[in-house]
Amino acid sequence: MAKLLALLQYFFLILTITFSTAKSHSFSTESSREALGLMTTQEKITHLHFYMHDVFGGANATAIPVTKILDNNTFYGGMFVADDPLTLGPDRDSGPVGTGRGTYTFPSQNDFVLEMVYNLRFAHGGYNGSSLCLLGNISPASIVNEVAIAGGTGVFRFARGYAVAKRIVLDFKAQLVVRELNVYVSHY
Ligand SMILES: *[C@@H]1O[C@H](CO)[C@@H](O)[C@H](O)[C@H]1NC(C)=O
Ligand SMILES: *[C@@H]1O[C@H](CO)[C@@H](O)[C@H](O)[C@H]1NC(C)=O
Ligand SMILES: *[C@@H]1O[C@H](CO)[C@@H](O)[C@H](O)[C@H]1NC(C)=O
């Protein structure tokens, strides 16, 4: 009896090891929206409206240069690291909705173009902790620019969409740019 039990335990162990080994090494398995806890298969579109404050110099800079700018026309090679406040209204103290963090690089040898690789992390209501990934080129000389929303986390899992950024303040004295953002994002 004891022998049988030991034998059973032995086989069970082998099976368990084989099974768990196979499982931990599986690179790809089929999943589903249900398995991921997404209760609906219906995508919805959310419109977010907020303001982004970018201080590019001075004691309270939110975007700091990390490289030398080699070309004064295109800023080619320049890179800034940004940690910008996002607010409900155009005023800095209108109420926080989150932070925009990432890099601004100047990737063109011919044009004055800024590339954003940027994470919008929200800290507002039901969106607290959720984020959207913003990617795109903007022309700093243009008042309105459009960039892509390439993904998201939290309530924005599977997100995709776009953001229209409208520059409403350009203050060289305060070294401040304020942009109004209208984000349209499709998610579950
Ligand atoms: C930076 O922020 C501090 C605290 O809010 C403020 O007292 C100071 O005047 C600001 N400095 C500049 C250059 O804006
Ligand atoms: C860019 O402009 C600054 C300030 O006017 C000047 O000091 C610098 O030499 C210029 N850089 C180049 C590469 O022309
Ligand atoms: C967001 O969530 C964090 C972590 O759970 C919490 O500390 C914070 O108070 C929340 N903020 C808002 C505005 O709900």
d(CA 141, CA 106): 13
Backbone phi, psi, residue 170, to 5°: -135, 100
Q: Is 72 in the pocket of ligand 2 (CB under 6 A)?
A: yes
| Long-range contacts of the stretch 53-58 (C-beta < 8 A, 24+) | 53/84, 53/85, 53/86, 53/87, 53/92, 53/176, 53/177, 53/178, 54/82, 54/84, 54/176, 54/177, 54/178, 54/179, 55/174, 55/175, 55/176, 56/80, 56/175, 56/176, 56/177, 57/175, 58/174, 58/175
Is residue 157 pLDDT above 90, yes or no?
Answer: yes
Chain centre to alpha carbon of residue 6? 54
Ligand 3 pocket, residues with Cβ under 6 angstroms: 123, 128-129
88: domain CATH number is 2.40.480.10
Per-residue confidence (pLDDT) for residue 48, from 0 to 100: 98
Q: How many domains does the chain have?
A: 1
**Number of the ligand closest to the Cα of 68:** 2
Q: Does the pLDDT value for residue 41 go beyond 80?
A: no
Whole domain around residue 104: which residue ranges?
A: 44-187
Please indicate, yes or no, if residue 35 is contained in any of the structural domains: no
What count of residues does the chain have?
188
Please report whether residue 12 resides in a domain. Answer: no
Nearest-CA residue for ligand 2 atom 2 is 72
Which of 99, 124, 127, 128 has the most ligand 3 atoms within 8 A of CB, as the residue to mutate?
Answer: 128
In a domain, 32, yes or no: no
Query: What tens digit of pLDDT does each residue of 5-14 get?
Result: 665 565 555 5
In a domain, 4, yes or no: no
pTM summary value: 0.82
Instruction: Judge whether 27 lies within some domain.
Output: no
What is the rounded distance in angstroms from the CA atom of residue 75 to the CA atom of residue 65? 11
Residue identifier of the C-alpha nearest atom 10 of ligand 1 = 60
> Does residue 13 sit within a domain?
no
With respect to residue 64, please indicate whether it lies within any of the assigned structural domains.
Answer: yes
Q: Tokens 């909705």 appear where?
A: 97
Q: Is 28 in the pocket of ligand 1 (CB under 6 A)?
A: no
159's tokens: 């997100």
Q: Do the beta carbons of residue 137 and residue 118 sit within 8 Å? A: no
| Within-domain flag for 36 | no
Atom nearest to 55 CA in ligand 1: 14
**pLDDT of res. 118:** 97
pLDDT of residue 84: 98
pLDDT tens-digit profile of 45-90? 999 999 999 999 999 999 999 998 889 999 999 999 999 999 999 9
Q: If you measure from the C-alpha of residue 138 to the centroid of ligand 1, how many angstroms do you get, rounded to a whole number?
A: 28
Distance CA 50, CA 97 (A): 8
